[in-house]
Amino acid sequence: MSSDNTSANTATAARAASTAARARTNANSRAVGLDRRRFLKQAALATGALALPNFIPAAALGRDGKIAPSNRIVMGGVGYGNRAGYVMGEWFLRQPEVQFVGACDVRKSRRNALKARVDQHNKNTDCKTYIEMGEMFARPDIDAIVTATGDRLHATVAVRAMRAGKDVYSEKPATMTIAEGQELVRTAKAYARVYQAGMQRLSERNFIFCEELVRSGRLGEVKTVHAHHAPWGGVHMNRKWLPEEPLPDPSEVDWDRWLGPCPWRPYNQRYVTGGWHGQHDFYNSVIGEWGSHTFASCHAALDLGHTSPVHYPFVNNPTADGLTMTFANGAKMRSLRQDTWEDATGKKHQWHGSCAIRYIGTEGWCATGDGYSAPDLSNPALLNDLNKIVQNYLLRTGREIDHVRNFLSCVKSRRETAANPTITHRTMSAVHCGNLAQWLGRDLTWDPVKEEFVNDPEANRCRSRAAREGWQIV
Protein backbone atom coordinates (compact mmCIF):
# COMPACT_ATOMS: atom_id res chain seq x y z
CA MET A 1 0.00 0.00 0.00
CA SER A 2 1.44 3.39 -0.95
CA SER A 3 2.14 6.09 1.59
CA ASP A 4 -0.41 8.32 -0.24
CA ASN A 5 -3.13 5.71 0.17
CA THR A 6 -2.19 5.23 3.80
CA SER A 7 -2.48 8.98 4.50
CA ALA A 8 -5.82 9.18 2.70
CA ASN A 9 -7.21 6.20 4.60
CA THR A 10 -5.99 7.67 7.91
CA ALA A 11 -7.63 11.03 7.15
CA THR A 12 -10.85 9.32 6.09
CA ALA A 13 -10.89 7.26 9.28
CA ALA A 14 -10.24 10.36 11.39
CA ARG A 15 -13.11 12.23 9.74
CA ALA A 16 -15.43 9.26 10.20
CA ALA A 17 -14.44 8.97 13.86
CA SER A 18 -15.00 12.68 14.35
CA THR A 19 -18.40 12.56 12.67
CA ALA A 20 -19.46 9.56 14.76
CA ALA A 21 -18.24 11.22 17.94
CA ARG A 22 -20.16 14.38 17.19
CA ALA A 23 -23.31 12.38 16.47
CA ARG A 24 -22.97 10.51 19.77
CA THR A 25 -22.39 13.77 21.64
CA ASN A 26 -25.40 15.48 20.02
CA ALA A 27 -27.62 12.51 20.83
CA ASN A 28 -26.43 12.45 24.41
CA SER A 29 -26.98 16.18 24.85
CA ARG A 30 -30.55 15.88 23.58
CA ALA A 31 -31.29 12.85 25.70
CA VAL A 32 -30.15 14.14 29.04
CA GLY A 33 -30.50 17.90 28.54
CA LEU A 34 -26.85 18.78 29.06
CA ASP A 35 -26.18 22.40 29.84
CA ARG A 36 -23.90 24.42 27.59
CA ARG A 37 -20.76 24.01 29.65
CA ARG A 38 -21.06 20.21 30.03
CA PHE A 39 -21.85 19.88 26.32
CA LEU A 40 -18.68 21.74 25.36
CA LYS A 41 -16.56 19.62 27.69
CA GLN A 42 -17.95 16.31 26.41
CA ALA A 43 -17.61 17.41 22.80
CA ALA A 44 -13.97 18.22 23.46
CA LEU A 45 -13.34 14.77 24.91
CA ALA A 46 -15.14 13.01 22.06
CA THR A 47 -13.70 14.85 19.09
CA GLY A 48 -10.45 16.36 20.35
CA ALA A 49 -8.76 19.00 18.26
CA LEU A 50 -10.94 18.15 15.24
CA ALA A 51 -14.11 19.40 16.99
CA LEU A 52 -13.06 22.42 19.10
CA PRO A 53 -10.73 25.36 18.61
CA ASN A 54 -7.70 25.67 20.80
CA PHE A 55 -9.17 28.73 22.57
CA ILE A 56 -12.65 29.21 24.11
CA PRO A 57 -13.53 32.83 25.02
CA ALA A 58 -13.93 33.41 28.76
CA ALA A 59 -17.40 34.88 28.14
CA ALA A 60 -18.59 31.52 26.77
CA LEU A 61 -17.75 29.78 30.03
CA GLY A 62 -18.56 32.57 32.48
CA ARG A 63 -14.95 33.21 33.52
CA ASP A 64 -13.08 36.40 34.38
CA GLY A 65 -16.25 38.09 35.61
CA LYS A 66 -18.12 37.43 32.37
CA ILE A 67 -21.66 36.06 32.33
CA ALA A 68 -22.02 32.77 30.48
CA PRO A 69 -24.85 32.70 27.91
CA SER A 70 -26.66 30.02 29.92
CA ASN A 71 -26.81 32.38 32.92
CA ARG A 72 -28.01 35.48 31.08
CA ILE A 73 -31.52 36.87 31.44
CA VAL A 74 -32.73 37.78 27.96
CA MET A 75 -35.16 40.70 27.99
CA GLY A 76 -37.35 42.93 25.87
CA GLY A 77 -38.79 46.36 26.59
CA VAL A 78 -42.33 47.62 25.98
CA GLY A 79 -42.86 51.39 25.93
CA TYR A 80 -39.91 53.74 25.79
CA GLY A 81 -40.72 57.17 27.20
CA ASN A 82 -38.94 59.36 29.72
CA ARG A 83 -39.39 56.97 32.63
CA ALA A 84 -38.46 53.96 30.51
CA GLY A 85 -35.25 55.66 29.46
CA TYR A 86 -34.20 55.64 33.09
CA VAL A 87 -35.56 52.22 34.06
CA MET A 88 -34.31 50.36 31.00
CA GLY A 89 -31.20 52.40 30.29
CA GLU A 90 -29.93 53.22 33.75
CA TRP A 91 -31.18 50.20 35.71
CA PHE A 92 -31.53 47.14 33.51
CA LEU A 93 -28.88 47.60 30.84
CA ARG A 94 -26.24 48.07 33.54
CA GLN A 95 -26.94 44.65 35.04
CA PRO A 96 -24.22 42.22 33.90
CA GLU A 97 -26.53 39.25 33.29
CA VAL A 98 -29.17 41.20 31.34
CA GLN A 99 -29.16 40.93 27.56
CA PHE A 100 -31.72 43.16 25.82
CA VAL A 101 -32.83 41.85 22.43
CA GLY A 102 -36.22 43.47 21.74
CA ALA A 103 -37.63 47.01 21.61
CA CYS A 104 -41.41 47.45 21.34
CA ASP A 105 -43.21 50.79 21.06
CA VAL A 106 -46.12 51.99 18.94
CA ARG A 107 -44.04 55.05 18.01
CA LYS A 108 -41.31 54.47 15.49
CA SER A 109 -39.04 57.15 16.95
CA ARG A 110 -39.21 55.58 20.41
CA ARG A 111 -38.67 51.96 19.42
CA ASN A 112 -35.73 53.05 17.27
CA ALA A 113 -34.35 55.09 20.16
CA LEU A 114 -34.48 52.06 22.45
CA LYS A 115 -32.84 49.89 19.81
CA ALA A 116 -30.07 52.45 19.34
CA ARG A 117 -29.40 52.56 23.07
CA VAL A 118 -29.37 48.76 23.36
CA ASP A 119 -27.19 48.32 20.30
CA GLN A 120 -24.71 50.88 21.59
CA HIS A 121 -24.56 49.06 24.91
CA ASN A 122 -24.25 45.60 23.30
CA LYS A 123 -21.82 46.83 20.62
CA ASN A 124 -23.84 45.16 17.86
CA THR A 125 -27.03 45.73 15.86
CA ASP A 126 -28.94 42.64 17.01
CA CYS A 127 -31.80 44.31 18.93
CA LYS A 128 -35.04 43.90 16.97
CA THR A 129 -37.90 46.40 16.93
CA TYR A 130 -41.61 45.62 17.21
CA ILE A 131 -44.90 47.51 16.92
CA GLU A 132 -46.94 44.52 18.13
CA MET A 133 -45.99 43.35 21.61
CA GLY A 134 -47.32 39.85 20.92
CA GLU A 135 -44.67 39.28 18.27
CA MET A 136 -41.95 40.00 20.78
CA PHE A 137 -43.62 37.88 23.46
CA ALA A 138 -43.68 34.95 21.03
CA ARG A 139 -39.89 34.79 20.97
CA PRO A 140 -38.80 31.68 22.90
CA ASP A 141 -35.40 33.19 23.74
CA ILE A 142 -36.87 36.06 25.80
CA ASP A 143 -37.09 35.30 29.53
CA ALA A 144 -38.55 38.55 30.87
CA ILE A 145 -39.87 41.92 29.83
CA VAL A 146 -39.89 45.37 31.38
CA THR A 147 -42.79 47.69 30.60
CA ALA A 148 -42.94 51.43 31.19
CA THR A 149 -45.92 52.49 29.08
CA GLY A 150 -48.53 54.93 30.33
CA ASP A 151 -50.82 53.86 33.18
CA ARG A 152 -53.53 52.55 30.85
CA LEU A 153 -51.44 49.62 29.54
CA HIS A 154 -49.40 48.39 32.50
CA ALA A 155 -51.72 45.54 33.48
CA THR A 156 -52.55 44.62 29.87
CA VAL A 157 -48.88 44.28 28.94
CA ALA A 158 -48.02 42.40 32.14
CA VAL A 159 -50.85 39.87 31.87
CA ARG A 160 -50.24 39.21 28.18
CA ALA A 161 -46.53 38.75 28.78
CA MET A 162 -47.06 36.35 31.68
CA ARG A 163 -49.52 34.33 29.63
CA ALA A 164 -46.76 34.05 27.04
CA GLY A 165 -44.43 32.62 29.69
CA LYS A 166 -42.43 35.78 30.45
CA ASP A 167 -41.50 37.22 33.83
CA VAL A 168 -42.44 40.88 34.19
CA TYR A 169 -41.09 44.09 35.70
CA SER A 170 -43.86 46.68 35.35
CA GLU A 171 -43.79 50.36 36.12
CA LYS A 172 -46.42 51.77 38.44
CA PRO A 173 -49.31 52.39 38.83
CA ALA A 174 -49.68 48.71 38.06
CA THR A 175 -53.42 48.62 37.32
CA MET A 176 -56.28 50.84 36.23
CA THR A 177 -59.01 48.84 37.99
CA ILE A 178 -59.58 46.38 40.80
CA ALA A 179 -60.47 43.69 38.26
CA GLU A 180 -57.12 44.14 36.52
CA GLY A 181 -55.35 43.61 39.85
CA GLN A 182 -57.28 40.41 40.47
CA GLU A 183 -56.28 39.14 37.04
CA LEU A 184 -52.66 40.12 37.66
CA VAL A 185 -52.58 37.96 40.78
CA ARG A 186 -54.40 35.06 39.11
CA THR A 187 -52.19 35.07 36.01
CA ALA A 188 -48.90 35.22 37.91
CA LYS A 189 -50.00 32.22 39.99
CA ALA A 190 -51.49 30.21 37.13
CA TYR A 191 -48.45 30.65 34.90
CA ALA A 192 -45.85 30.51 37.72
CA ARG A 193 -44.40 33.87 36.71
CA VAL A 194 -42.17 36.26 38.64
CA TYR A 195 -43.65 39.77 38.77
CA GLN A 196 -42.29 42.98 40.24
CA ALA A 197 -44.12 46.31 40.24
CA GLY A 198 -41.90 49.39 40.04
CA MET A 199 -42.65 50.42 43.62
CA GLN A 200 -38.92 50.65 44.26
CA ARG A 201 -39.15 52.29 47.67
CA LEU A 202 -39.93 48.86 49.05
CA SER A 203 -36.26 48.15 48.29
CA GLU A 204 -34.68 51.40 49.53
CA ARG A 205 -32.69 51.68 52.76
CA ASN A 206 -34.48 54.57 54.50
CA PHE A 207 -37.94 53.20 53.78
CA ILE A 208 -36.99 49.70 54.89
CA PHE A 209 -35.53 51.07 58.11
CA CYS A 210 -38.74 52.92 58.95
CA GLU A 211 -40.87 49.88 58.11
CA GLU A 212 -38.70 47.73 60.37
CA LEU A 213 -39.10 50.21 63.25
CA VAL A 214 -42.85 49.68 62.97
CA ARG A 215 -42.64 45.88 62.67
CA SER A 216 -40.25 45.56 65.61
CA GLY A 217 -42.32 47.73 67.94
CA ARG A 218 -39.57 50.34 68.37
CA LEU A 219 -42.21 53.06 67.85
CA GLY A 220 -44.71 51.41 70.16
CA GLU A 221 -48.14 50.61 68.77
CA VAL A 222 -48.57 52.22 65.35
CA LYS A 223 -52.16 52.89 64.43
CA THR A 224 -51.68 55.92 62.17
CA VAL A 225 -49.60 56.13 59.01
CA HIS A 226 -49.36 59.05 56.59
CA ALA A 227 -48.84 58.59 52.86
CA HIS A 228 -47.82 61.28 50.37
CA HIS A 229 -49.89 61.74 47.24
CA ALA A 230 -48.94 63.95 44.31
CA PRO A 231 -49.25 67.68 45.14
CA TRP A 232 -50.47 68.74 41.69
CA GLY A 233 -53.70 68.34 39.79
CA GLY A 234 -56.81 66.85 41.32
CA VAL A 235 -58.69 63.66 41.94
CA HIS A 236 -61.46 64.52 39.46
CA MET A 237 -59.96 64.11 36.02
CA ASN A 238 -60.73 65.45 32.58
CA ARG A 239 -63.26 63.47 30.54
CA LYS A 240 -63.23 65.77 27.49
CA TRP A 241 -61.45 64.93 24.25
CA LEU A 242 -58.68 67.04 22.84
CA PRO A 243 -59.39 68.47 19.37
CA GLU A 244 -59.15 65.95 16.56
CA GLU A 245 -56.04 65.95 14.39
CA PRO A 246 -55.26 63.90 11.26
CA LEU A 247 -54.23 60.35 11.99
CA PRO A 248 -50.51 59.73 11.46
CA ASP A 249 -49.12 56.89 9.40
CA PRO A 250 -49.50 53.81 11.68
CA SER A 251 -45.88 52.89 11.04
CA GLU A 252 -44.93 56.18 12.70
CA VAL A 253 -47.57 56.21 15.47
CA ASP A 254 -50.07 53.36 15.72
CA TRP A 255 -52.99 55.16 17.35
CA ASP A 256 -55.12 52.02 17.77
CA ARG A 257 -52.35 50.24 19.66
CA TRP A 258 -51.54 53.38 21.65
CA LEU A 259 -55.12 53.47 22.97
CA GLY A 260 -54.98 49.78 23.88
CA PRO A 261 -58.01 48.79 25.96
CA CYS A 262 -59.25 52.39 26.39
CA PRO A 263 -62.37 53.72 24.63
CA TRP A 264 -61.77 55.05 21.13
CA ARG A 265 -61.30 58.80 20.77
CA PRO A 266 -59.94 61.00 17.96
CA TYR A 267 -56.20 61.32 17.64
CA ASN A 268 -54.33 64.30 19.02
CA GLN A 269 -50.55 64.41 19.16
CA ARG A 270 -50.57 65.78 22.70
CA TYR A 271 -51.86 62.47 24.03
CA VAL A 272 -48.79 60.57 22.87
CA THR A 273 -46.35 63.21 24.11
CA GLY A 274 -47.57 63.27 27.72
CA GLY A 275 -50.99 64.89 27.42
CA TRP A 276 -52.65 61.71 28.65
CA HIS A 277 -51.88 62.80 32.23
CA GLY A 278 -55.01 64.00 33.95
CA GLN A 279 -57.32 62.24 31.47
CA HIS A 280 -59.80 59.87 33.12
CA ASP A 281 -59.37 57.07 30.58
CA PHE A 282 -55.59 57.05 30.89
CA TYR A 283 -54.59 58.15 34.40
CA ASN A 284 -54.92 57.02 38.03
CA SER A 285 -55.33 60.51 39.57
CA VAL A 286 -52.98 62.22 42.00
CA ILE A 287 -53.76 59.48 44.53
CA GLY A 288 -52.43 56.79 42.24
CA GLU A 289 -49.46 58.86 41.04
CA TRP A 290 -47.55 58.65 44.34
CA GLY A 291 -49.97 56.60 46.43
CA SER A 292 -48.97 53.52 44.45
CA HIS A 293 -45.58 53.96 46.13
CA THR A 294 -46.49 55.28 49.56
CA PHE A 295 -49.54 53.10 50.16
CA ALA A 296 -47.33 50.08 49.44
CA SER A 297 -44.81 51.21 52.08
CA CYS A 298 -47.60 51.69 54.61
CA HIS A 299 -49.17 48.31 53.85
CA ALA A 300 -45.75 46.66 54.20
CA ALA A 301 -44.90 48.41 57.47
CA LEU A 302 -48.21 47.36 59.04
CA ASP A 303 -47.80 43.78 57.73
CA LEU A 304 -51.03 44.29 55.81
CA GLY A 305 -49.76 43.57 52.32
CA HIS A 306 -52.36 40.82 51.99
CA THR A 307 -55.36 43.11 52.43
CA SER A 308 -56.73 46.63 51.88
CA PRO A 309 -58.52 49.20 54.04
CA VAL A 310 -62.22 48.63 54.61
CA HIS A 311 -63.50 52.22 54.88
CA TYR A 312 -63.01 55.06 52.36
CA PRO A 313 -64.64 58.42 53.10
CA PHE A 314 -65.67 61.06 50.59
CA VAL A 315 -63.43 64.08 51.13
CA ASN A 316 -65.03 67.32 50.03
CA ASN A 317 -62.02 68.94 48.37
CA PRO A 318 -60.75 68.68 44.77
CA THR A 319 -57.48 66.95 45.68
CA ALA A 320 -58.81 64.42 48.23
CA ASP A 321 -56.28 65.87 50.67
CA GLY A 322 -56.70 64.22 54.06
CA LEU A 323 -58.39 61.07 52.74
CA THR A 324 -58.23 58.73 55.77
CA MET A 325 -58.68 55.03 55.05
CA THR A 326 -59.27 52.54 57.86
CA PHE A 327 -58.12 48.90 57.96
CA ALA A 328 -60.14 46.14 59.60
CA ASN A 329 -57.78 46.19 62.63
CA GLY A 330 -58.43 49.91 63.19
CA ALA A 331 -55.17 51.21 61.72
CA LYS A 332 -55.61 54.39 59.70
CA MET A 333 -53.76 55.39 56.54
CA ARG A 334 -54.03 59.07 55.71
CA SER A 335 -53.28 60.34 52.19
CA LEU A 336 -51.84 63.87 52.16
CA ARG A 337 -50.39 66.41 49.76
CA GLN A 338 -48.14 67.64 52.59
CA ASP A 339 -47.54 66.64 56.22
CA THR A 340 -46.49 69.09 58.94
CA TRP A 341 -46.04 68.43 62.65
CA GLU A 342 -44.19 69.45 65.80
CA ASP A 343 -41.98 67.27 67.96
CA ALA A 344 -41.90 67.24 71.76
CA THR A 345 -39.58 70.26 71.83
CA GLY A 346 -41.84 72.35 69.62
CA LYS A 347 -39.61 72.03 66.56
CA LYS A 348 -41.59 72.03 63.33
CA HIS A 349 -41.18 69.31 60.73
CA GLN A 350 -42.59 68.68 57.28
CA TRP A 351 -42.05 66.32 54.39
CA HIS A 352 -39.46 67.31 51.82
CA GLY A 353 -39.01 65.57 48.49
CA SER A 354 -41.48 63.20 46.91
CA CYS A 355 -43.27 60.00 47.95
CA ALA A 356 -42.82 60.55 51.70
CA ILE A 357 -44.33 58.56 54.56
CA ARG A 358 -44.69 59.06 58.33
CA TYR A 359 -45.41 56.35 60.88
CA ILE A 360 -46.85 57.50 64.21
CA GLY A 361 -46.65 55.21 67.22
CA THR A 362 -47.39 55.44 70.93
CA GLU A 363 -43.66 55.77 71.65
CA GLY A 364 -42.47 57.88 68.73
CA TRP A 365 -42.59 58.58 65.01
CA CYS A 366 -40.40 58.34 61.94
CA ALA A 367 -40.60 59.94 58.50
CA THR A 368 -38.71 59.62 55.26
CA GLY A 369 -39.02 60.31 51.56
CA ASP A 370 -36.98 60.80 48.42
CA GLY A 371 -35.43 64.01 49.70
CA TYR A 372 -34.04 62.51 52.92
CA SER A 373 -30.40 61.62 53.44
CA ALA A 374 -31.55 59.84 56.61
CA PRO A 375 -34.98 59.33 58.18
CA ASP A 376 -36.43 62.01 60.45
CA LEU A 377 -37.05 60.52 63.92
CA SER A 378 -38.61 61.53 67.20
CA ASN A 379 -35.64 59.73 68.78
CA PRO A 380 -32.57 60.41 66.58
CA ALA A 381 -30.58 57.85 68.60
CA LEU A 382 -32.41 55.13 66.67
CA LEU A 383 -30.28 56.05 63.65
CA ASN A 384 -27.35 54.36 65.39
CA ASP A 385 -29.05 51.03 64.62
CA LEU A 386 -29.92 51.82 61.00
CA ASN A 387 -27.31 49.57 59.38
CA LYS A 388 -27.93 46.73 61.80
CA ILE A 389 -31.69 46.88 61.36
CA VAL A 390 -31.45 46.97 57.57
CA GLN A 391 -28.93 44.10 57.49
CA ASN A 392 -31.19 41.99 59.68
CA TYR A 393 -34.03 42.66 57.24
CA LEU A 394 -31.89 41.57 54.30
CA LEU A 395 -30.86 38.38 56.06
CA ARG A 396 -34.42 37.58 57.04
CA THR A 397 -35.93 38.19 53.61
CA GLY A 398 -33.04 37.36 51.28
CA ARG A 399 -33.71 40.61 49.40
CA GLU A 400 -31.41 43.39 48.17
CA ILE A 401 -31.26 47.15 48.54
CA ASP A 402 -31.91 47.39 44.83
CA HIS A 403 -35.34 46.83 43.29
CA VAL A 404 -34.05 45.63 39.92
CA ARG A 405 -31.53 43.29 41.55
CA ASN A 406 -34.37 41.88 43.64
CA PHE A 407 -36.35 41.18 40.47
CA LEU A 408 -33.43 39.55 38.65
CA SER A 409 -32.54 37.42 41.68
CA CYS A 410 -36.13 36.21 41.85
CA VAL A 411 -36.15 35.42 38.12
CA LYS A 412 -33.29 33.03 38.87
CA SER A 413 -34.51 31.65 42.21
CA ARG A 414 -38.30 31.84 41.50
CA ARG A 415 -38.79 33.44 44.90
CA GLU A 416 -41.39 36.13 45.59
CA THR A 417 -40.37 39.73 44.86
CA ALA A 418 -40.67 42.70 47.22
CA ALA A 419 -43.45 44.23 45.09
CA ASN A 420 -45.13 40.92 44.33
CA PRO A 421 -48.57 40.64 42.70
CA THR A 422 -50.44 40.44 46.02
CA ILE A 423 -49.12 43.59 47.69
CA THR A 424 -49.30 45.34 44.31
CA HIS A 425 -52.97 44.45 43.89
CA ARG A 426 -53.93 45.23 47.49
CA THR A 427 -52.13 48.57 47.38
CA MET A 428 -53.72 49.51 44.08
CA SER A 429 -57.13 48.40 45.39
CA ALA A 430 -56.76 51.08 48.07
CA VAL A 431 -55.96 53.61 45.33
CA HIS A 432 -58.98 52.58 43.27
CA CYS A 433 -61.37 52.49 46.24
CA GLY A 434 -60.15 55.90 47.37
CA ASN A 435 -60.68 57.31 43.90
CA LEU A 436 -64.14 55.79 43.60
CA ALA A 437 -65.29 57.32 46.90
CA GLN A 438 -64.41 60.74 45.49
CA TRP A 439 -65.86 60.12 42.02
CA LEU A 440 -69.14 58.77 43.42
CA GLY A 441 -69.27 61.45 46.13
CA ARG A 442 -69.97 59.15 49.09
CA ASP A 443 -68.29 56.98 51.71
CA LEU A 444 -67.58 53.41 50.66
CA THR A 445 -67.17 50.20 52.67
CA TRP A 446 -64.96 47.50 51.16
CA ASP A 447 -64.88 43.79 51.93
CA PRO A 448 -61.27 42.75 51.24
CA VAL A 449 -62.08 39.04 51.47
CA LYS A 450 -64.90 39.04 48.93
CA GLU A 451 -63.29 42.00 47.14
CA GLU A 452 -66.55 43.85 46.76
CA PHE A 453 -68.22 46.95 48.13
CA VAL A 454 -70.82 46.41 50.82
CA ASN A 455 -74.40 47.22 49.76
CA ASP A 456 -73.37 49.40 46.83
CA PRO A 457 -74.16 47.90 43.39
CA GLU A 458 -73.06 51.04 41.55
CA ALA A 459 -69.64 51.02 43.17
CA ASN A 460 -69.29 47.31 42.43
CA ARG A 461 -69.90 47.95 38.75
CA CYS A 462 -66.95 50.36 38.87
CA ARG A 463 -64.49 47.62 39.87
CA SER A 464 -63.80 47.09 36.17
CA ARG A 465 -63.92 49.04 32.93
CA ALA A 466 -65.05 47.81 29.53
CA ALA A 467 -62.09 47.13 27.23
CA ARG A 468 -62.17 47.51 23.47
CA GLU A 469 -62.57 44.36 21.41
CA GLY A 470 -59.32 42.42 21.23
CA TRP A 471 -57.83 44.09 24.30
CA GLN A 472 -59.72 42.28 27.07
CA ILE A 473 -57.64 40.58 29.76
CA VAL A 474 -60.48 39.97 32.26
pLDDT digit string, tens, across residues 276-298: 999 999 999 999 999 999 999 99
Q: Which of 29-38, 238-247, 425-434 has the lowest mean pLDDT?
A: 29-38
**pLDDT for position 15:** 47
pLDDT band at 69 (very low <50, low <70, confident <90, very high): confident
**pLDDT for position 103:** 97
Alpha helices in 371-417 (DSSP H): 386-397, 403-413
Q: Which of 31, 58, 57 is nearest to 42 (CA)?
A: 31
Sign of the torsion angle spanned by Cα atoms 390, 393, 398, 401: negative
**pLDDT for position 33:** 42
**pLDDT for position 66:** 63
Q: Which of 56-70, 280-294, 421-435 has the lowest mean pLDDT?
A: 56-70
Q: Which of 24-38, 57-71, 97-111 has the lowest mean pLDDT?
A: 24-38
Q: Which residue has the higher pLDDT, 24 or 222?
A: 222
* 333 domain-assigned: yes
d(CA 444, CA 446): 6
* 409 domain-assigned: no
pLDDT band at 90 (very low <50, low <70, confident <90, very high): confident
Buried b (16+ CB within 10 A) or exposed e, 5-27: eeeeeeeeeeeeebeebeeebee
Mean local confidence (pLDDT), 135-139: 98
* 430 domain-assigned: yes
Q: Which of 21-35, 91-105, 308-322, 398-412 has the lowest mean pLDDT?
A: 21-35
| Residue-range definition of the domain harbouring residue 228 | 202-236+283-402+421-461
Q: Which residues contact 407 (CB under 8 A, 6 or more apart)?
A: 167, 169, 194, 196, 417
CATH number for the domain harbouring residue 333: 3.30.360
How are strands ordered across the β-sheet holding 195-197? Answer: 128-130, 98-104, 73-78, 144-147, 167-170, 195-197
In degrees and rounded to multiples of 5, residue 29 shows phi and psi of: -65, -35
**pLDDT for position 21:** 45
In degrees and rounded to multiples of 5, residue 196 shows phi and psi of: -135, 125
Identify the DSSP state of 152: G
Indicate if the pLDDT at residue 355 is higher than 60: yes
* 194 domain-assigned: no
pLDDT band at 81 (very low <50, low <70, confident <90, very high): confident
**pLDDT for position 234:** 93
Indicate if the pLDDT at residue 9 is higher than 70: no
CA 351 to chain centre: 26
Q: Which residue has the higher pLDDT, 338 or 10?
A: 338
Alpha helices in 63-139 (DSSP H): 82-86, 108-122, 133-137
Q: What does DSSP say about strands 222-228 and 332-336: parallel, antiparallel, or unpaired?
A: parallel
Indicate if the pLDDT at residue 12 is higher than 70: no
**pLDDT for position 38:** 46
Q: Helix 285-301 vs helix 205-216: angle between axes, to the nearest 10 degrees?
A: 50
Asked if the bond preceding 261 is cis, omega within 30° of 0, the reply is: no
Share of the chain above pLDDT 90, in %: 83
pLDDT band at 65 (very low <50, low <70, confident <90, very high): low
pTM of the complete model? 0.86
Q: Which residue has the higher pLDDT, 36 or 183?
A: 183
Indicate if the pLDDT at residue 39 is higher than 90: no
Mean local confidence (pLDDT), 14-22: 46
* 299 domain-assigned: yes
For 148-184, the pLDDT digits (tens) are 999 999 999 999 999 999 999 999 999 999 999 999 9
Q: Helix 285-301 vs helix 421-440: angle between axes, to the nearest 10 degrees?
A: 140
Number of domains in the chain: 1
**pLDDT for position 372:** 97
**Residue ranges with strand state E in 41-143:** 73-78, 98-104, 128-130
**Average pLDDT over all residues of the chain:** 89
* 48 domain-assigned: no
* 150 domain-assigned: no
Share of the chain above pLDDT 70, in %: 86
* 457 domain-assigned: yes
